[in-house]
Structure 1
């Protein structure tokens, strides 16, 4: 069949590739350039989502943990294993027993993925590894493994795999009306945060609604010797401090917004991230050290008032010859694409 996939983010690109592998004639259409929106504004992690265990999303975590391995096997030049440390302080944040149970469950769910098991790092050893961590009340840290990627480069690699299999890529073309694609046997709406724009052109109440949640990050002009998974003081939220291209990446925020368009990181978000990191590191980070900031708008399936607890799962809806894709997660994009094919080709 002739199939149009609208949206060349990571979900659209993986979907186009999955369809091409089955011998279909696929056209991948992007209003700008591939991977230029949310897909290149992630936290640069291929991860199971340790924090999702707390909200009971065990199935998603298991799928994500196995998906990490697939990316590493396919593109080892663009992603690599990464050890993350969770410092634990006496009387602050989640207790040691809870975090210990969480990383052990993470180990169990990742069985067969080839990643090392978690370990405990005593305070004295941790101090030698990260002398910039604040020391008062420091008990030590749990360390566990995920993977890090260059999201833009890895996404562009997927697009190249697709075009080499015959997918036709058309950039700088925005689809305003589904009628523009009448020539195709099937249409795939992989527009991410903008998916509701195309769905609104068809009859009936959408099966799903989206929440638009902006996640902002800072790039700090400072070396980062190890990756950290930190708890925001006086909150249940967590954030990452990661080594990235010889700098320090800090993120992310979770700000609900009323539309899918990305306004970028605002001053309030920048201040929030600086306060969070400066509560954990000494010397603290100054505004002068911020090399850049970036943000992406995530399309989360509506259903939870707490953006941090909202599921990163995905869903599909078929209306006529159009398959609409809702939500998703970078790490599991290939799994999601394989599932979408069943809806597209039915």
Structure 2
């Protein structure tokens, strides 16, 4: 169903109530929409910006149990995370993939071999299998010869997982649509509709057309992430969230080569930092600080954060002499973290999810990418009495349907890496993608982790309204290529204009808008530019 048809279908619910109206198209909202639609509930999801346009495309790309949460004594959160990681690895092969971590231990560290080993033993216990292994210094340096050798006592290795966070959201939304959910991006919930002291719907506005409508729903779900308090305050509720920014650097892999993820401690404050391989690049992060900028302005790394991460990289890998020219891109996300109210350090705030039922508004926020399904199921159980279909709610059903025979047949002669990537990202839609591909479009775009056929498919079938939707979330071209991949725009132009119907003026406007966005939020801070 295309976007216009989805809007027309949504108009029917001006008089006929939905079971659930989900506001927010990140991983939290997508998870709620899928689990509710799977039960047979009538569900619509709207997102004010783009699907995964907030934190859900700007995470650290990790599907992990949260070893540092275990160190903080949050055993329940770690147990739940490890269980959910196991399920995602099982149900989303190729989209969620195993990732081995190496954790160096140095003489004089506050948490030495013994303490870390005990924590990893508990980590493995929750996972039901042993993955930890101790490596002597010589073995560590054989694996990571560029690592700082001074005071190295050895390293622990253990298993976690990683993903393409934006594609994860898109795949969950696609599955929700297969179960009958409506999903629309660039549709704002301007206000909530109340009757008899209860929320019973929302006033929606399509940012593309300017059209408005009032949708009725038995339950309205607030899954707007860092914006969740904004809707809640419209009901007179007090804020519960503390927006925290996490920023990352993306390096050329040949300049910062890591065959596995490497966790280490920042020399300045002892915070954990990691470098990990991701889509042919090396990702380094993350910061954790209060975000005081307006939430409606897309976040970007500041000069102090950039300097902080460069210090970490140079301290851990002194022989590489890393510099500004080795950074391909940057990105920053704002995490909706529960506010303890005691002004503690950002890294010490709890990462559990927030579930609140207030006057008919169900808020689902906070938490971790890894536990999106668990939080969705817990939230929906709070409103089972109001939506009878949710009595069929299950927490153990496979997350995704397996690709059908047509898609499996269509990919049989493709190279293995391409075959796995397409099936993981598009599932049963892979057959359509391949049928629409033009000659030569299945060749990978160098360093972009996608091909032109995927961009063509996204334009036709994945609700692309703007160029950044396509290059920053449907693909990760804007992160993986310098200058947001703008060198590819001349090749992309005929595909986009053909599939989206943009005239030359619209194309030029979109290119200008995209370049400004990349420079402001995905590039080097102005203070560091030559």
Instruction: Say which one has the larger Rg.
Output: 2
State the distance in 2 between where 1:122 and 1:316 align: 45
Encode CA deviations 1:61-114: one digit per residue, 9 max, x unaligned.
000001011111111021211110001111245322222222122122222xxx
State the distance in 1 between where 2:228 and 2:172 align: 21
Is residue 117 of structure 2 the alignment partner of residue 100 of structure 1? Answer: yes
When residues 17 and 175 of structure 1 are mapped into structure 2, their CA distance, relative to the original with a 3 A threshold, is: same
Is residue 187 of structure 2 the alignment partner of residue 156 of structure 1? Answer: no
Is residue 291 of structure 2 the alignment partner of residue 260 of structure 1? Answer: no
Gaps of 5+ in 1: none
When residues 139 and 240 of structure 1 are mapped into structure 2, their CA distance, relative to the original with a 3 A threshold, is: same
Where 2:83 maps in the other structure, the secondary structure is: helix
Q: Which residue of 2 aligns with 1:243?
A: 277
Gaps of 5+ in 2: 1-17, 194-202, 204-213, 386-530
Match of 1:48 among 43, 65, 70: 65
Q: Which residue of 2 aligns with 1:124?
A: 138
Match of 1:321 among 316, 337, 360: 360
Where 1:18 maps in the other structure, the secondary structure is: helix
Q: Which residue of 2 aligns with 1:274?
A: 310
Q: Which residue of 1 aligns with 2:247?
A: 216
Q: Which residue of 1 aligns with 2:74?
A: 57
**Contact preservation (8 Å) 1:93, 1:236:** no
State the distance in 1 between where 2:69 and 2:323 align: 31
Structure 1 residue 8 displacement after superposition? 0.6
Encode CA deviations 1:124-148: one digit per residue, 9 max, x unaligned.
1111111000111111100011001
More off after superposition, 331-340 vs 302-311 = 302-311
Q: Identify which of structures 1 and 2 has the higher relative contact order when contacts are C-alpha pairs closer than 8 Å and 6+ apart.
A: 1
Is residue 377 of structure 2 the alignment partner of residue 344 of structure 1? Answer: no
State the distance in 2 between where 1:134 and 1:142 align: 16
Q: Which residue of 2 aligns with 1:68?
A: 85
Match of 2:235 among 186, 202, 214: 202
**Contact preservation (8 Å) 1:116, 1:145:** no
State the distance in 2 between where 1:21 and 1:93 align: 48
State the distance in 2 between where 1:329 and 1:15 align: 14
When residues 234 and 100 of structure 1 are mapped into structure 2, their CA distance, relative to the original with a 3 A threshold, is: farther
**Contact preservation (8 Å) 2:133, 2:157:** yes
State the distance in 2 between where 1:67 and 1:136 align: 37
More off after superposition, 100-109 vs 30-39 = 100-109
- What does 1:69-88 align with in structure 2 at a 5 Å threshold? 69-88=86-105
Is residue 332 of structure 2 the alignment partner of residue 295 of structure 1? Answer: yes
**Contact preservation (8 Å) 2:243, 2:336:** yes
State the distance in 2 between where 1:284 and 1:76 align: 37
**Contact preservation (8 Å) 1:130, 1:226:** no
Is residue 184 of structure 2 the alignment partner of residue 170 of structure 1? Answer: yes
State the distance in 2 between where 1:326 and 1:83 align: 29
**Contact preservation (8 Å) 2:261, 2:276:** yes
State the distance in 2 between where 1:320 and 1:91 align: 53
When residues 280 and 93 of structure 1 are mapped into structure 2, their CA distance, relative to the original with a 3 A threshold, is: farther
**Contact preservation (8 Å) 1:93, 1:234:** no
**Contact preservation (8 Å) 2:86, 2:127:** no
Where 1:178 maps in the other structure, the secondary structure is: strand
State the distance in 2 between where 1:38 and 1:280 align: 27
Structure 1 residue 234 displacement after superposition? 4.1
Where 1:224 maps in the other structure, the secondary structure is: coil
Structure 1 residue 116 displacement after superposition? 4.0
State the distance in 1 between where 2:295 and 2:80 align: 27
Pick the structure with more helix per residue: 2
**Contact preservation (8 Å) 1:224, 1:247:** no
Is residue 348 of structure 2 the alignment partner of residue 309 of structure 1? Answer: yes
Pick the structure with more strand per residue: 1
**Contact preservation (8 Å) 1:93, 1:231:** no
Structure 1 residue 117 displacement after superposition? 2.1
Where 1:316 maps in the other structure, the secondary structure is: strand
State the distance in 1 between where 2:92 and 2:303 align: 36
